[in-house]
Amino acid sequence: MANTSDTILTVENMSVEFPTLSGVTTAVRDVSFTVGREKIGIIGESGSGKSTTGRAIMRLQPPQAIVKANRMQFEDIDLLTASEEEMRSIRGRRIAMILQDPKYSLNPVMTVGEQISETVILHERATSQEARSRTLAMLERVNIRDPERVFDLYPHEVSGGMGQRIMISMMLIAQPSLIIADEPTSALDVTVRQQVLSILDDLVVERNIGLIFISHDLNLVRSFCDRVIIMYAGRVVETIAAADLDQAQHPYTRGLLNALPSLDHPKDRLEVLRRDPAWLEN
Amino acid sequence: MSMIKAHHLAASYGHGDTALKVVKDVSFEVQKGETFGLVGESGCGKSTILGALAGRNKQWTGSIEIDGETIGQKRTRAQLAKQQLVFQDPFGSIHPRHTIGRTLLEPLEIHGKDRRQERIEKVLTDVGLPLNFRYRYPHQLSGGQRQRVAIARALILEPKILLLDEPTSALDVSIQAEILNLLKDLRQREQLTYILVSHDLAVVAHLCDRVAMMQSGGFVEIATRQQLLENTVEHAYTRILMDGSRGYVSERRNNKGEALPV
Amino acid sequence: MAKSGTFSNLHDWLISEDFTSARQARLHTVYLGWLSLVANPLAFAGFAVVLLLVIVAAFAPMIAIHDPFAQDFAMALQAPSAAHWFGTDEFGRDVFSRLIYGARTTLYITILVTVIVAPIGFVIGATAGYLGGWVDVVLMRITDIFLSFPSLVLALAFSAALGPGIENAVIAIALTVWPPIARLARAETLTFRNADFVIAAELQGAGTGRILLRHIVPLCAPSIIVRLTLNMSSIILTAAGLGFLGLGAQPPMAEWGAMAASGRQYLLDAWWLTTVPGIAILTVSLAFNLLGDGLRDIMDPRNG
Amino acid sequence: ATPKDELVIAITMTTMRGLDPHEINQLEAAEVVANLYDRLIALPPDNITDPQPSLAESWTISEDGKTFTFKIQQGVTFHSGNPVTAHDVEWSLHRLVKLGLAPSTDLRQWGFSAKNVDELIRAEDDHTLVLQTPEVWNPNLILYSLASYSTSIVDATFLAGKEKDGDWARNYLQTADAGSGPYSLVTWRSNQLLIADAFKDYWKGMPAMKRVYMGHVPESSAQRLQIDAGDVDVATRLSSTDLSGLERDGKVTVQKVPGFGFYYLALNQKDEILSNPKVREAFRYLIDYDGLANSVMKYYGTKQQTIIPAGLPGASDEMPYKLDVDKAKQLLAEAGYPDGFSKVYFAQPGTPESELGVSLQNSAAKAGIKLDLQIGDQIGKFRSRQFELFSSRTGERLPDPHAVLQSYATNANNADDAKLSGLVAWRSAWDVPKDIQDMVIAAAHETDAEKRDALYARINETYLRASPALVTSFQRTDPKAVRHEVKGYVGHPTWLTRWDTVTKSE
Amino acid sequence: MSIIQTSEPSAPRKSALPKAAGKVATSFVVILTTLLGLMMITFTVGRMVPADPVIAVIGDQADQATYDRVYKEMGLDRPIYVQFAGYLSDVVRLDFGQSIITKQPVSTDLARVFPATIELATLATIIGAGLGIPLGVIAAVRKGTWVDHVARVVGLLGYSTPIFWLGTIVILVFYAHLGAIPPGGRIYLYDEGIVQARTNFILIDAALGGHWDVFRSALHHIIAPAVILGYASMAYLSRMTRSFMLEQMRQEYILTARAKGLGQRPIVWRHAFRNIRVQLLTVIALAYCGLLDGTVLIETVFAWPGLGSYLTSALFFADMNAVLGSVLLIGIISIAINLLSDIVYRFIDPRTR
Ligand SMILES: Nc1ncnc2c1ncn2[C@@H]1O[C@H](COP(=O)(O)OP(=O)(O)OP(=O)(O)O)[C@@H](O)[C@H]1O
Ligand SMILES: Nc1ncnc2c1ncn2[C@@H]1O[C@H](COP(=O)(O)OP(=O)(O)OP(=O)(O)O)[C@@H](O)[C@H]1O
Ligand SMILES: [Mg+2]
Ligand SMILES: [Mg+2]
Ligand code: NI
């Protein structure tokens, strides 16, 4: 279980709204949770507001989005009132973010090394020499065998798994205390996924930091995370320890679990989720 | 009676020195009403095999027999209608500027079929979509609904075989369940034969009778459903895939060091 | 704004996504396009000017206050006045009336070129893109040859060769306008060529013609329409440029470019002769650009 | 503003094609050649019919009127430093005739040909040149011809070194000069500019303007702006409007240099409709003489409806025609075309030709004649008789009625294959009435001035009544705008405007 | 897992050389066929022009014998394919023949007029790119704000203005009424003949010869036409830059960069702009070729003695050799510019290396 004494992030009643032509859509509604030095998973269907939540924490929501909350506290910083200047010094240094597909989330015309060392130079005013050696060390840390060579490669020259490890090293090089990973492995093969996750797992445990792991793979979250937040249509319907997922109470969570085909408990017909409008009322 | 017979099938892309042999000598048979699975990591050639069977990929060697008829590189319309492909991405596989009705009408026009409205209504009902959906455009449909449309389009020519290329991997689990159920029902009702590509062994085990494990263009093992469920598969690679579909296996917890067996 | 009952019913019917017929589905799309056009003030302004141009061209004889061809040397080079809103030209003809009739010429050239060029460009480009291989190589080589001339130079060369005259100008301009359309059509076709829905149609036995016409055309249409609209502006400018160099429309036909050009001789004494048609060209060309730009936002959001 | 000792002239250079005096056929080039070269004889611009000595210090004409003996001035040198001798004159005139290009008509019309010229034009010694004519002509015609730019004297010795493959140094002379005139060519860049420097050893003394620039300024308004601002001294291609404007502003004088040529409308006589005399007559009522005269043609022409140019023997100021659409309609009806007809009409580009075309098109339309006006360079079609209506202007360069009449009123053989394409009458396929043709020939041979004048008066009369296929409306004038401080720049009716007489005040 | 550990970039690099050679060979063939096509078109056009080249030489009043002789001299009696073949073989020997109008070898003429056009087009491109690219970037970054709207209207106006008309108005206002600019041409007529023509770029020649007054005069003359052309090209470049930038700003890697804590400036210039350099280059190359178009009109208006005016007068007076020569030159230049941008493209974009 998470140790509440060590809370890194507290979110209370956060909502994110998008004004559109046909009125205001509320992508996230009254979401509350805390993150400690633990791996917390967020699951839910597509469009349930997982990514929006993650980005709102970093204040990286699209410019037209409106974020409201009673409280958004990250360590000693009030994310609701922090200036853009302050946010910039927090992003990448104290809160980092890993995105889904390394193919698109790395700049195609900058070398891998350049992109990683940029973070160090930015946040720690390191010289490029220092940055380079830090980068090489970090690449080695994520199990890249020939960091010197990889440093000068361009993103299109590395494989997906390697790209995701580069992404991890880029985000962890400045030693943040919270990482938000938005489906970091869903673009990867099963075999590679395992490897990337174990590196991430190691780093989080080793540095004793918090991880928000966004995914829609129930099995993955169950086995990887400590705690799971289940979202439905922008709301948190349930928060539960990963180990207790099978005992989940909310019909939505249950529905998801039952809809899953399983090697261990084969079923002839899968159960179909029946949505209850009542779930939309908090 | 076997519906599909592939013998020493090999397929490649490109010409001359840039030619790339992607599928190397696979042979298999699928019985009528059977569902045959194909699993393997990205790029190992799963879609290419389906392409060769469907008539999309014309650069293949070996022999293919469908419904007792030997198939050449060029096919007649009737031969094309015997098997239909369902694609992975429900957002890219339906013409964005055709209404659903139009999309379903198209194959009927190509094949000069009669009773067109009747057939469209039937197939929409078959896949569980309301009839007035035929006036909608794809962007007005959810992913699951679109995948139903894609299946409907495949079914409207009354094929004997459906070639399913990761039909649910872009969908949420709840919707995946609906589609998988639909596929099961259809198979039973229409006496269809499936080849299903997936990277989720759980899905494969749910639907398939037999499954071929692929690695870099070849089959490493063909396992039965029973073997999967009983966890008695032989090949190491198959095991990795099985572990993968169960979720994350912590190495720290296993305390096995960093490298995993290949 | 309070809407009358029938209108709001119609609006609701058009906006509803719960279609009961194919016609409603089509009207719905058109209506949404219209709504977004109205919502984009610049594009709407462009549309309004284009509409005005069409109306002016259609009703020229009623709008023109004088005979645009009637000469009277006694009245030559009169400054703008109540009788002659935009003054008179070197032959004493009423510039306003000529301007009105010039709208016909402009529209005639623009539409004719577009009508010629759109199918040619599309067929060549889409065929090249869809079939690929040597067909692509040959067609694109021809396209490139035409593209390697700056377009005005090419139009100039052709209309000089064909001789002056508006039909020849149309042909000459068309010769310079089709290659970019072909390129665009090819590029668009290539992006859809391997789309799953095209492959699905192929696997159901659809032939090349069917795929091009039924599947590729509706997809390329938005960007081609946008390009054609934007092109109209450059057609107008090229036509005016030809008129300016003495090719294109021949006297006594009123053509804005030629009017501006011949007015240049009288620039210092009769500024209105050059200025007025110049502003007309500018306005209409700007209108087509605004409209095209707006249409791009509406029909082809990819190009932001 | 322009420097005090330099002259800047704005012209249109598009038709200037080379500077070989024996090849060119165009006004602007002629002005350049006039200053790079000298001729045996000069015609003063203010008394154009009075031949004056130039390189020939004197001449005698034999009793029978066929032999002309010229004494060549001594001590004159070419720009190369070579002395000017009778041999140079002989070589130059032979060159003109033997090259046989457009300007060679000036001599060939009198019977000189490549075959006989060696014999007929001879240098007796360094300072004597003898010229014999095959027939008796009015001697003025010969003298005028020897004052034409085409009979410019070139440096034979110098050009001998420039000759290639027996081309008479033609290639060289296109873009260079080998003359003895007051100016020598420094640079000529086609369609851009020409620079000529004063020749310091010129036999009349070095000209005041040390350097002359001719710049290509094709736009009338640009020329006007520049002359107005003082960036050029002389401008020669201004529209009538701009000329009026300039005159109004008072910084320039506008010279209307008279020329011996007409603005004409040619009606192809091979065309059934157009060959109807009534139809031809009708066109004469469809030109807005007065409207044009006060606007477009204000500086470009003077109304002249008869065939002999004003200022020449036999000229008449009779103006029987005016714009009269009703009369034209009536004539058309009489001719059998009460509803008019449609024809293609070629007009030359540029001012004022295109305006003339537009104007005619307009008034013709009122009479029911639909003219499909095509403005463009269609001379080739005119020459080969492939046209219906054609209008342009001519510029004859001899100050004698014969020059105009020969082209407009003789047509020895109207057959297509006669190819007398130098004559506008032939080009119009007009079989000129025999009596007119005979009179024209007779007048050229006539040596008695009074008889000649009478003959020309009769020709003029007869021609007018013949309802000719060539409708002449305006006699050509060439306007030149000259800034007030420029003195001595006098436009020459036969295109030989000189720069060595120019000075600048202030 | 070894499959993933090693990436594959070394494999294609080995075979890069013969591949590149093949590429060069094909692009050579491509260029040759394009040139041939180009010449075929221009040659046909040349033969179709109604003006009679013989009359252009001999003048209106010459008689038929002269006409016939010159007709033969110019080789017009030979069959058209023979003429074309003859022309081709001359061109291969870099002999474009002689111009009827200037009586000079066309190659000499081109060497004279082309620098004038290049000078103008280059300055215009510098102006256009110098203003247009930053404007486009700012418009994209401030999408939807007034800056964007102003940039859009300015850009569309630039697209829509008839360039010859703008030139005319500029002359009327700035020369006739304000006297702020010279009337046209490259320098004042009376400054001609001072500077020794070495490169035919008047600015360079004047500077080389130390004639600073002429240099100033030349600069003074080039400004108005260059600014007008530059405006047109600025309009184009800013629109293209804007849409390229917008597309890049939508990309995931921009989100990554922001997540790193980068400020707006490095995100825009170091990340997004770097990605559009290649596209921009292509567009600038296109704009440069397009300027050759604009020069036809602007040279007419400003009496600029460049390729544009040379070509126009050649066309109108049936000076076929000159037309073919200059069109060929224009074609070659635009092919060369595109080729160059292609090469630089390969050089700066790591994905195509
Ligand atoms: N820029 C935007 N404008 C308007 N609505 C938006 C915008 N971005 C997201 N939304 C809406 O917000 C909701 C939540 O989106 P979000 O991307 O957070 O979902 P998600 O849970 O991450 O889904 P997925 O699993 O597909 O990534 C969606 O309904 C979406 O339509
Ligand atoms: N059109 C093509 N041209 C060239 N190579 C291709 C083409 N399509 C696929 N390939 C290559 O063939 C190999 C097999 O591709 P295929 O699509 O069959 O893999 P897959 O097993 O379906 O993978 P995934 O799970 O990612 O869909 C891959 O290495 C791919 O790069
Ligand atoms: Mg998401
Ligand atoms: Mg696949
Ligand atoms: Ni076998």
- Domain ranges within chain B, ordered by starting residue: 32-50+72-229
E170 lies in the same domain as E195: yes
D333, two tokens: 């009806």
Tell me whether A226 touches chain B (CB under 8 Å).
no
DSSP state letter for D215: E
Token pair 């007119």: residue: D436
Q: Which CATH superfamily hosts domain B32-50+72-229?
A: P-loop containing nucleotide triphosphate hydrolases (3.40.50.300)
- How much is the average pLDDT of A51-63? 91
**What's the pLDDT score for residue E9?**
34
In the block, tokens 């470019």 appear at: C257
Contacts of C264 in chain E (CB under 8 A): 168
Question: Given the CA of residue A16, which atom of ligand 1 is nearest to it?
Answer: 12
> Which H/E stretch holds residue E131?
helix E106-141
| Nearest residue by C-alpha to atom 10 in ligand 2 | B13
CA torsion angle for A111, A114, A117, A121 (degrees, to 10)? Answer: -160
CA distance D380 to chain E (A): 5
* 8 A C-beta contact, residue D356 and residue D347: yes
Pick the ligand that lies closest to the CA of residue A43: 1
Report the SS3 class of residue E117.
helix
β pairing state of D41-42 and B35-40: unpaired
Whether the bond between C252 and the residue before it is cis, its omega within 30 degrees of 0, is yes
pLDDT of residue C15 exceeding 60: yes
B213 lines ligand 2 (CB under 6 A): no
Q: Is the pLDDT of residue E15 over 50?
A: no
Distance of CA A39 to CAs A35, A72, A182, A225, Å? 8, 19, 13, 5
Q: Give the integer Cα–Cα distance in Å for B251 and B255.
A: 5
Phi then psi dihedrals of residue E238, to 5 deg: -70, -35
Nearest CA to ligand 1 atom 11: A27
Is E345 domain-assigned?
yes
Q: Does D357 touch chain E (CB under 8 A)?
A: no
Please state the φ and ψ torsions of residue A149, each to the nearest 5 degrees: -75, -45
% of residues, chain E, pLDDT over 90: 14
A19, A162 Cβ separation under 8 angstroms: no
- Asked, for residue E100, whether it belongs to a domain, the answer is no
- Using a CB–CB cutoff of 8 Å, tell me whether B77 touches chain C: yes
* Domains delineated in chain A: 1-94+215-282 (3.40.50.300)
pLDDT tier, E352 (very low <50, low <70, confident <90, very high otherwise):
low
Ligand 2 neighbourhood includes B20 CB (under 6 angstroms) = yes
Nearest-angstrom CA–CA distance, A256 and A273: 7
E58's tokens? 């001999």
Q: Which of E280, A200, A203, D376 is nearest to C160 (CA)?
A: D376
Nearest chain C alpha carbon to D238: C265
Q: Which residue has the higher pLDDT, A15 or C296?
A: A15
Terminal CA-CA length for chain B:
38
- Angle made by CA atoms C14, C16, C21, in degrees to the nearest 5: 75
Specify whether E69 is located in the same domain as E164.
no
pLDDT for position C194 = 86
Same domain, E83 and E110: no
Confidence band, pLDDT 50/70/90 cuts, at residue C301: low
* The two three-digit tokens of residue A270, written as one number: 């899968």
Mean pLDDT rounded to a whole number for chain C: 85
C265: closest CA of chain D, how far (Å): 6
Output B121-124 pairs: Cβ under 8 A, ≥24 positions apart.
B123/B152, B123/B155, B123/B156, B124/B100, B124/B152
Task: Identify the CA nearest to D442 among candidates D430, D452, D450.
Answer: D452
Contacts of A15 (CB under 8 A, 6+ apart): A26, A28, A29, A30, A31, A67, A68, A69
- Last residue of some domain: E59, E92, E125? E92
Q: How far is the CA of B46 from the centre of ligand 4 (A)?
A: 6
How close is the Cα of A62 to the center of ligand 1, in Å? Answer: 11
B262 vs E: CB within 8 A: yes
Contact (CB<8Å) C252/D354 = no
Q: For residue E351, give the DSSP letter.
A: G
Is residue D428 classed as helix, strand or coil in its secondary structure? coil
Of the partner residues D6, D216, D421, the one whose CB lies closest to the CB of residue E67: D421
Is pLDDT at E107 greater than 80 in this prediction? yes
Instruction: Find, among A106, A76, A90, the residue nearest to A174 by Cα.
Output: A90
pTM for the whole thing? 0.83
Domain of E35 in residue numbering reads as: 2-92
Closest-CA distance, E17 to chain A, in angstroms, reads 19
Q: How far is A52 from chain B (nearest CA, A)?
A: 18
Name the domain boundary from E92, E117, E138: E92
Are residues E31 and E164 located together in one domain of the fold? no
Q: Rounded distance, CA D453 to CA A270, Å?
A: 122
Q: Is residue E6 part of a domain?
A: yes
Are residue E300 and residue E203 in the same domain, yes or no?
A: yes
Tokens describing residue C117? 């060029």
Architecture, CATH, for domain C42-61+87-303: Orthogonal Bundle (1.10)
pLDDT class for E353, splitting at 50, 70, 90?
low
d(CA D493, CA D49): 11
Query: Alpha-carbon distance C117 to D184, whole Å?
Result: 55
Q: Is the CB of B43 under 6 A from ligand 2?
A: yes
Closest chain E residue to the Cα of D108, Cα to Cα? E63
CB atoms closer than 10 angstroms to residue B258: 10
Q: Chains D vs A: touching, with 3+ CB pairs under 8 Å?
A: no
Question: What was the pLDDT predicted at D452?
Answer: 92
Q: Tell me, what's the pLDDT at E12?
A: 37
Residues E290 and E317 in one domain: yes
Q: Whose CA is nearest to atom 28 of ligand 1?
A: A47
E116 and E77 assigned to the same domain: no
> Measured from the CA of B50, which atom of ligand 2 is nearest?
18
> Do the chains contact at B240 and A46, CB–CB below 8 Å?
no
**Is the predicted pLDDT of residue C1 greater than 80, yes or no?**
no
Query: Which whole number is the average pLDDT over A111-117?
Result: 93
Task: Give the C-alpha separation, C125 to C212, whole Å.
Answer: 11
What residues have CB less than 8 Å from A63, skipping those under 6 apart?
Answer: none
Is residue E245 located within the same domain as residue E329?
Answer: yes
Token pair, residue A257, equals: 């679990």
Please compute, for residue D238, the number of CA atoms within 13 A of its CA located in the half-sphere on the CB side: 35
DSSP, residue by residue, D315-372: ----------HHHHHHHHHHHT-TT--EEEEEE-SSTTHHHHHHHHHHHHHHTT-EEE
**C299 to chain B: closest CA residue:** B97
In three-state form (DSSP H/G/I as H, E/B as E, the rest C), the secondary structure along D102-118 is HHHHHHHCCCCCCCCHH
Arithmetic mean of pLDDT over chain E: 81
For tokens 């659409």, name the residue. Answer: D325
CB contact set of A281 (below 8 Å; sequence gap of 6+): none
pLDDT, one tens digit per residue, over C253-279 is 888 888 888 888 788 888 888 899 999
Residue D99 pLDDT: 86
Other CB atoms within 10 A of residue D319 CB: 12
Q: How many CB atoms lie within 10 A of CB D58?
A: 10
Give one DSSP letter per residue of E232-277, joined into a string.
HHHHHHHHHHHHHHHHHHTSHHHHHHHHHT--HHHIIIIIIIHHHH
Residues in contact with ligand 1 by the CB-under-6-Å rule are A 18, 20, 25, 27, 44, 46-52, 62, 216
E81 and E134 assigned to the same domain: no
How confident is the model at residue D226, as a pLDDT? 87
What pLDDT is recorded for position E21? 65
Query: Which parts of chain B register pLDDT below 70?
Result: 251-262
Contact A222 B205 (CB under 8 A): no
Partners of D252 in beta bridges: D483
Q: Does C265 touch chain D (CB under 8 A)?
A: yes
What confidence score (pLDDT) does residue E343 get?
Answer: 78
Distances (CA, A) of D419 to D266, D412, D415, D470, D473: 17, 11, 8, 18, 26
- pLDDT one digit per residue (tens) for chain D, 506 residues: 788 899 999 998 888 888 999 988 888 999 999 999 999 999 999 888 899 999 999 999 999 889 999 999 999 999 999 999 999 999 999 999 998 888 888 898 899 998 999 999 999 999 999 999 999 999 999 999 999 999 999 999 999 999 887 788 988 998 899 999 999 999 888 888 899 999 999 999 999 999 999 988 888 888 888 898 888 999 998 888 889 889 988 889 999 998 899 999 999 999 999 999 999 999 999 999 999 998 889 999 999 999 999 988 889 988 999 999 999 999 999 999 999 999 999 998 888 898 899 999 999 999 999 999 888 878 888 888 999 999 999 888 889 999 999 999 999 999 988 888 888 999 999 999 999 999 999 999 998 889 999 999 999 999 988 889 999 999 999 999 999 999 999 999 999 999 999 999 87
Q: With the C-alpha atoms ordered C136, C139, C143, C144, is the resulting torsion angle positive or negative?
A: positive
What are the residues facing E144 on neighbouring strands? none
Measure the CA–CA gap between D321 and C197, rounded to whole angstroms: 79
Q: Which of B46, B142, B174, B242 to mutate against chain A (most A CBs within 10 Å)?
A: B174
Task: Report ipTM for this prediction.
Answer: 0.81
3-state secondary structure chain A: CCCHHHCCEEEEEEEEEEEECCEEEEEEEEEEEEECCCEEEEEECCCCCHHHHHHHHCCCCCCCCEEECCEEEECCEECCCCCHHHHHHHECCCEEEECCCHHHHCCCCCCHHHHHHHHHHHHHCCCHHHHHHHHHHHHHHCCCCCHHHHHCCCHHHCCHHHHHHHHHHHHHCCCCCEEEEECCCCCCCHHHHHHHHHHHHHHHHHHCCEEEEECCCHHHHHHHCCEEEEEECCEEEEEEEHHHHHHCCCHHHHHHHHHCCCCCCCCCCCCCCCCCHHHHCC
- Average per-residue pLDDT for chain B: 88
Q: Which atom of ligand 2 is closest in space to residue C194's alpha carbon?
A: 1
Residue E259 contacts B where some CB pair is shorter than 8 Å:
no
Domain count across chain E: 2
Alpha-carbon distance A280 to A278, whole Å?
Answer: 5
pLDDT range class, residue E18, cuts 50, 70, 90: low
Q: Shortest CB distance from C22 goes to which of B94, B111, B135?
A: B135
**What percent of chain C has a predicted confidence (pLDDT) above 70?**
96
pLDDT > 60? residue E112: yes
Tokens of A92: 């990448």
Give whole-number Cα distances, C80 to A74, C271, C272, D240, D291, in Å. Answer: 72, 10, 8, 21, 21
| E158 and E267 together in one domain | yes
Write the residue with the smallest CA distance to atom 18 of ligand 2: B45
Q: E160 and C304 in contact by Cβ < 8 A?
A: no
pLDDT for the residue numbered C3: 44
Sort D317 into a burial class: Cβ within 10 Å, 0-12 / 13-18 / 19+: exposed
Q: What is the pLDDT of residues B169-183, one digit of tens each?
A: 888 888 899 999 999
What confidence score (pLDDT) does residue C38 get? Answer: 84
Which residue's CA is the nearest one to ligand 1's atom 13?
Answer: A27
The DSSP bridge pattern shows strands B193-197 and B161-165 to be parallel
| Least confident window among A33-47, C111-125, D457-471, E72-86 | E72-86
| Same domain, residue pair E124 and E250 | yes
